[in-house]
Structure 1
Amino acid sequence: MPCRRTMSLANNKFVSAEFGWSGSNGGMLRARATQVGPWERFEICQGTLYDTIRSTYMSKYVTAELGYTGGNKGMLRARASSPGAWEQLRVISCGTGCVAIRRANVQTYVSAELGNTGDRYGMLRARSSAIGPWEKFRLQ
């Protein structure tokens, strides 16, 4: 699938993978960019059972960090070299020009955490049980 840009409909910001960060926050996905650069480009591979999202900049698959606890549980990071269980997502339609992202086989949707401040503003987490404003995205 061609390179896509993903925008949060709640704040009209593009999703970025934070490749300038290191450690357990390296590659964190955040809805924070006003312009598209290399960190805002992703490929979405749609499969029969699940989809994968891969950063084209670092060729890393997006992972839902299910082993994290607290406010980082379910954080999305572009960090995996190949898809495994934590990289299995579903991109589904939620209306005209709107998609939601959820974990495959689990009704946990990805949210752009717009209530966070500082470096956590706009962090993407697989944590919501329903599609609300923070769970709506647009692929361009």
Structure 2
Amino acid sequence: MSYRIMRRGLAVAVALGGLLLSAPAGAASTDAGSVAAPRPTLVPVGTGSPELESQRQATTRAAATASGRRTSAALAPPQPCWQNVSFRRFGLTRYVSMELQYSGDRKYELRARSDSVGPWELFTLCRDPFSEVTTIRSQSNHNYVSVEEAYQGTIYAMLRARTGEVNLGPWELFYSDIEPGQGYCGQIRANSNGLFVAAEEDYPGTSKGMLRARTTAAQIGTWETFCY
């Protein structure tokens, strides 16, 4: 099911039973916000770094398993991957950052909190256009983004860029209904618990904007909508 969003002029139509999200007056049709960000770069198959090509292969294997139309990862075409992808919560100019300086259980936490794009806000994304299986990797610490399902309470299913190469599994797989660089906004759903990623705007202080996979399809709104 597609939850794709495209901004045109002053409004955004969301395919969620007729829900309509208003855009700020004077907003661009690409919903690019007021802060310039690097455009995602599509990396041709076989031309990326060893790290990127490994991510491409991992995404291809996961997509082959997830899609009923494919029975063998060996027969599946390599998945498209983009570098320099930045995420911004819809309606805001706050980009998603990977908190490199946090410690303990929150080390490498993802938060929608930055008003500009630097190394902590850049990710590599690979996405199968058929199954929508997606992997996201921080370009700052080179780890995959994972959903922390073992966490409890207000940090349940927090997103952290903490998984290395050898540990890629269900917690590191997502479904996204858009591809980078096309001027669209949409949702990101976690494979492990089936819930959509939200930015916790009500959280205080250093927790504000924390990304968590905790929203059902019926509850999707602006907090669950990202532009990249």
Report the structure number with the largest CA radius of gyration: 2
CA offsets per residue over residues 2-49 of structure 1, 9 Å max, x none? 220100114320000001111110000000000111000001111365
1:44 maps onto 2:133 in alignment = no
Aligned match of 2:171 in 62, 65, 86?
86
Q: 2:171·2:192 contact (CA, 8 Å) conserved in 1?
A: no
More helix by share: 2
1:63 maps onto 2:146 in alignment = yes
SS, match of residue 98 in structure 1: strand
Aligned match of 1:104 in 178, 191, 196?
191
Q: Go from structure 1 to structure 2 and tell me whether the alpha carbon gap of 1:114 and 1:79 turns closer, same or farther (over 3 Å shift).
A: same
Q: Go from structure 1 to structure 2 and tell me whether the alpha carbon gap of 1:70 and 1:106 turns closer, same or farther (over 3 Å shift).
A: closer
What is aligned with 1:13?
Answer: 94
SS, match of residue 184 in structure 2: coil
Q: Go from structure 1 to structure 2 and tell me whether the alpha carbon gap of 1:9 and 1:67 turns closer, same or farther (over 3 Å shift).
A: same
- Distance, in Å, in 1 between the alignment partners of 2:92 and 2:105 is 25
In structure 1, give the amino acid aligned to 2:157. Answer: G
SS, match of residue 145 in structure 2: strand
- Distance, in Å, in 2 between the alignment partners of 1:63 and 1:25 is 12
What is aligned with 1:138?
Answer: 227
Aligned match of 1:31 in 69, 90, 112?
112
Worse-superposed segment, 13-22 or 46-55: 46-55
Shift >6 Å, 4+ stretches: none
| Greater relative CO (CA pairs within 8 A, separation 6+) | 1
Q: 1:54·1:62 contact (CA, 8 Å) conserved in 2?
A: yes
TM-score w.r.t. length of structure 1: 0.91
Question: How many residues were matched structurally?
Answer: 137
- Distance, in Å, in 1 between the alignment partners of 2:194 and 2:169 is 18
- Gap runs ≥5 in structure 1: none
- Distance, in Å, in 2 between the alignment partners of 1:108 and 1:89 is 10
Q: 1:75·1:126 contact (CA, 8 Å) conserved in 2?
A: yes
- Distance, in Å, in 2 between the alignment partners of 1:74 and 1:121 is 15
- Gap runs ≥5 in structure 2: 1-81
TM-score w.r.t. length of structure 2: 0.57
The alpha carbon displacement at 1:106 in A equals 4.9
Indicate the percent of aligned positions where both proteins have the same amino acid: 38
What is aligned with 2:205?
Answer: 118
Q: 1:10·1:134 contact (CA, 8 Å) conserved in 2?
A: no
What is aligned with 1:75?
Answer: 158
